Chain A
Amino acid sequence: MSKSGMSDKTFEILNNTFLTIILIIVVYPLIFVLSASISDPQAVSSGKMWLWPVDITFKGYEKVFADSSIWRGYGNTILYTIVGTAVHLFVLLPCAYALSRKELKGKKIILWFILFTMLFNGGLIPTYLVVKSLGMLDTMWAIVIPGVVGAWSILVARAFFQQSIPDQLVEASKIDGASDFYIFMRIVLPLSIPIIAVMALFHAVNLWNQYFNALIYLSDRDMYPLQLILREILVVNQMQLNDPSGGGAESLVEQVKTAGLIKYSVIIVSSLPLLIVYPFIQRFFVQGVLIGSIKE
């Protein structure tokens, strides 16, 4: 029995109620969008649809999948994400490994050189001018290269290498005549699958979801990633989805209604891949956050 304040039983009930309310607030918008994307627009706008789908229709998805710019955007995003993640690992892993080796001289200076970029950067305009002068505008490289790696990632990967690659292993291989390249490729990388997965996933999610670099560096609409197409549809409201059925047949009212439906559908089409996948690889993300917070 407690002497003062609320009893443990009351606390437990209050705590679970509090969490349940939080969960409803977090999840409800997502369920609403999912249900609205397959409900009759009439039911959505009249409020008949408030949780589960009403008068199921897949017209929104038909429109979205029939639209070439969404497909192209999807394709571009997949391309940028795969190439960007590959380049990310190529820049990150060797550098982090080298910084974890005790043979490396001048480690302190190199670390400062890298970490200083967290404290200060030239800003938007000077960075833009560099990208422009390198002729990267309107190329995939403008999306992939600026921001390819952050000081934080290097610190995290370095901490991993320091803790999980035994010095004796590297030294023994060296005595056997293995070169540093060989050791890195054949011994270190296979032992580092967890950190590679974490880093690749973090970067891939960022690339998938970012729009700003594409907004400033790309002007060719055919190169737009999915997020810029979404921006047009959801935010700027410049929706001009091609109507494959020949157009003109629908009344204006009908078009306005399907416009709403398309918005819900396009949110689901763009977000569902990540939302389905992340619970299964969640532990990698969580480990990524944690390892980032721990200094060896």
Chain B
Amino acid sequence: MHKKTDCSYLPLGNCYVPGSEVGGQWMETTKKEVVTPTYNGWSDLKKNIRRNWQIYIFLIPALLYFTIFHYIPMYGVQIAFKNFIATDGIWGSPLIGFDHFTRFFDSYYFWRLLKNTLILSGYSLLLFPLPIILALSLHEVKNKYFKKWAQTLTYAPHFISVVVVVGMIVIFLDPSTGLINRIIVAMGGEPIAFLTSPSWFSHIFTWSGVWQTLGWGSIIYLAALAGVNPELHEAAKVDGATRFQRIIHINIPSILPTIIVLFILNIGSFMSVGFEKVLLMQNDLNASSSDVIQTFVYQTGLLEGQYSFAAAIGLFDSAINIALLIVFNYVARKTSDNSLW
């Protein structure tokens, strides 16, 4: 069950191999006999390119794209250490070292931004088990049609744009006309200005996120559950285990590798907190809890034009992300044999 797969060249791919029965017709393949010709040195490489040049041409559009839109920005990130002046270019702008970073760390909003970012990410991470619970529950449904309908319906929010989701939140939580507040008033309460109160922001943000991703997030666990060895269940039944006991002692341990890998992947985007949604939900009144690092980068960089300062903050953000990813991957590898690389 707990297969250790070779993932050496895969920094971020999921390495769990559930079973050949999941994933449709094209997964089932037989091992091919692959005879790899061996090449030595430059002359062989040249010969190879001359013979198969068209294959190399195929790579060009993608390599150009990654170079221009990923590697040039990585080179451009040096403006974080410079005072970027558009007319002097990235290379010609004067170097000022860590000034932007110290200015950021010393600013009064630094701790606020960090706190808000950590709260929103941590909260979402706390709810990480929900799609797993949904998958475990769906897996137990015996009625085929109910199961199919339940799956299809829970996927629906995945196809609704973040703008519309936030629009719906605004409509439903409106202090005077929103459904939620009308229910509160009908039950004798006072209407709550959800969207303009800082204390509600993280709850609204996170739980609406659960609504958006719950069903879609369960797909992968359902597939893993389909790969659980049925003999384990048969044996447990003979021993008199109830269905609930079998879920706890067979299903969950069986899909644990998938859970761990997806958890690490989640960590990998810890600091980015779905900021496109935060940006839409943000207003002056809830800013004290909705200002996150990424929205701040957008504001200072693109709205105020402080390119260097914003690039420095963005770099700080991705540095934390990478550090978290490496640490959690290391821990996972040491403790469970399941890791990304």
Contact = CB atoms under 8 A, between A and B. Distances in A.
Given A97-B58, A119-B12, A290-B24, A110 B63 contact: yes
B162 A209 contact: yes
Interface stretch (A8-16, A57-65, A241-249): A8-16
A275 B307 contact: no
A11 B246 CA distance: 12
B11 interface: yes
Identify whether the interface residues of B are mostly helix, strand, loop, or mixed: helix
B45 to A, nearest CB: 6
A126 to B, nearest CB: 4
B105 interface: no
A162 B155 CA distance: 30
A203 interface: no
A139 interface: no
Given A8-B242, A212-B276, A278 B69 contact: no
Interface string B173-188: 0000101001000100
A8 B10 CA distance: 42
B102 interface: no
B226 to A, nearest CB: 10
Interface in B77-131: 77, 79, 90
A154 B9 CA distance: 14
A15 B140 CA distance: 8
Interface string B306-339: 0100110011011000100100000000000000
Given A7-B242, A95-B59, A294-B18, A263 B171 contact: yes
Given A26-B214, A30-B156, A295-B14, A267 B5 contact: no
Interface in A29-83: 29-30, 32-33, 44-45, 47
Contacts of B43: none
Contacts of B48: 103, 105
A120 B74 contact: yes
Contacts, number: 317
Interface residues of A, number: 117
Given A18-B137, A160-B26, A163-B29, A123 B77 contact: yes
A234 B167 CA distance: 5
Contacts of B76: 122, 126, 129-130
A255 interface: no
A207 to B, nearest CB: 11
B204 interface: no
Interface in A102-129: 102-105, 108, 110-129
A291 to B, nearest CB: 6
Contact of B26 (A164, A260, A292, A295): A164
Contact of B152 (A22, A128, A279): A279
A19 B73 contact: no
A252 to B, nearest CB: 16
Interface residues on B, range: 35 or more
B163 A234 contact: yes
Nearest to A267: B164
A275 B159 contact: yes
Nearest to A148: B65
Contacts of B220: 289-290, 293
Interface in A238-292: 260, 263-264, 267, 270-271, 274-275, 278-279, 282-283, 285-287, 289-292
B154 interface: yes
A278 B155 contact: yes
A130 B307 CA distance: 12
5 contacts: A119-B322, A124-B301, A129-B79, A145-B65, A166-B32
B287 to A, nearest CB: 15
Interface in B233-259: 240-245, 258
Nearest to B297: A124
Given A126-B311, A129-B76, A230-B164, A289 B219 contact: yes
B314 A275 contact: no
Given A120-B318, A216-B302, A286-B219, A235 B167 contact: yes
A235 B71 CA distance: 35
Given A205-B159, A209-B161, A234-B166, A112 B9 contact: yes
A293 B223 contact: yes
A103 B219 contact: no
A292 B265 CA distance: 13
B141 A19 contact: yes
Contacts of B70: 117, 121-122
B157 A113 contact: no
Given A29-B172, A180-B55, 14 more contacts: A3-B240, A25-B211, A26-B211, A26-B215, A30-B157, A122-B73, A123-B318, A125-B310, A263-B167, A271-B161, A290-B23, A290-B24, A291-B26, A293-B258
